[in-house]
Structure 1
């Protein structure tokens, strides 16, 4: 028997498994994290954009947008690099502000802001909050050609320049995280965010519309609407990362907010797509622990990938602590319900049983309890970092042909 530790919140759960029965799926190892010098060098050579010193002038103000606490993005490293560079360029510390792309999620605590920015930067620049319901803090910029209302945080218009940060990873609706997602939905009104999800899902069936899904940009209406909204506030620059499972930067992309982001997405897809020969009747997956399993809506990203490995009607066992409950996005919660109609899902979490069962999901207090309800001979996959890679099913060739 082999043993693996599957992350659950900030803890880990040991699972003993038969290697003849289960195949362990994990992304290939990548090179170690980038040094500060390597990241700075890439900042000096932006992709399809002028360097920061030719974009930003002394006396101007800069708003740097950082990802929510639900993402690992090496934000502290990026914050220190950007703020120091801006001050070198003659921008006063009082004219540099950070804001967190929380969308309809809760505000960050003072401690979370400090941890994301680093204590050094948190003491030197102001950190703003986003409230998607505070009309006085929002500005209406009209609507997109598809009638999505463009209501964004007023701070986006109160600064000379906007710099996007964040990290790139797969997203079940927007294709990839990072870039334009930090503005839309990250800094939009609740009305805009609801309309955005309505554009991505069929209201009658709850299914995603054609072209919407992880790894998809071209033809993805959700991604395209996000870009249209972001274009209205014209970001000056992007500085985004690809990180490992510990949140350390393994790649850094700087430059044009659209093209550098797309370049990062292409690299991420290449490194995080895994060919698998067949689907199996059983998948045991972890979201990868905190912050990927903070709530049920966020944990859907791991369920999405696990379902791509499972035969129709098969069983998925998912570890997701959900220390902050269900989450605010009703569309992602409805997506859980749709998956439960196609798969037998066991959720190991800290959620109340009644809260889980209303989505058609079974509960278990441990992996052992879940496994006791599953046929002993079923072959399966073990996925320790549920949303970290996208499986592609490739039919195996017949060696006799």
Structure 2
């Protein structure tokens, strides 16, 4: 075990009364500070939570891919680019990655297993590097979630924004946001640890500030991309619901789509508001943490909560909600509740008539309903089509 103690990991100052006040940089050191017991206890609790969330998200991925037979990537088509993941699969992978690396980092911190400050800084930043790189799959999955509606119903009034966006542009955005954490966060964290090892505290603090501002820059870009793609998808779903309601479609279909939309909204809102709040905290933290707020336990607890506590709690909460919805839907009788249900002749004929009399036989309608459902709202267990062979 190596105790990482120097003027960077354990910051001290002398007050006007001559009293020395010391505080740990909880990111890379938990010991020899007034509140070490608190950080160690919280770390052990978080390890348990991260382990639970890792198991839940991993089990959900296994359920979707192996049991539900839903591949991680959508089928290749003309309207899709190279990156074409499914929304729910992407979300569970994000949760799995974040929880795994945070739990690993906390285990190494508590057991003092990092050989030096550089390794500790890398271990800390890897939580965000890996999660940030993978998380770009989620907004891209929203872009490609409705390509087949337009392909099968070209005369429909439903606009398909995935065909309006250049797949190469979408892939380029994804690759840029994927690479930025790797080429900026990782080197900045490594250099921070390097200068901390050399005891060049001023340079280490400067690099720390640049490191967290790089976080903020990426998070703002990600939030903008996610919000844009999300609102475009919601407009497609809203227009489609209007078509169904205008033609007196099966009310179960409409309710199923609305439930599925809500099921997809939960992860989107969690990511959006979580990153928005985190970016605000990181701006404050980048300018004040190393030279001012680190000496105040209340501020440190707030930062610690945002960096290590909030996302495990949020991840477990949403995973639990999705698991609950899944089991509740499994208990219901199976019936077609897709965007275009092959089991409702009245609903199907109304929709077909509204689409300039595009004729489909039962087999074609059933086949399309299977395609449309998982590609429009993949995380909706209530919208999935189950066709008996």
TM-score of the aligned structures, taking structure 1 as reference length = 0.25
**Alignment TM-score, normalising by the size of structure 2:** 0.25
Larger radius of gyration: 2
More strand by share: 1
Higher helix proportion, which one?
2
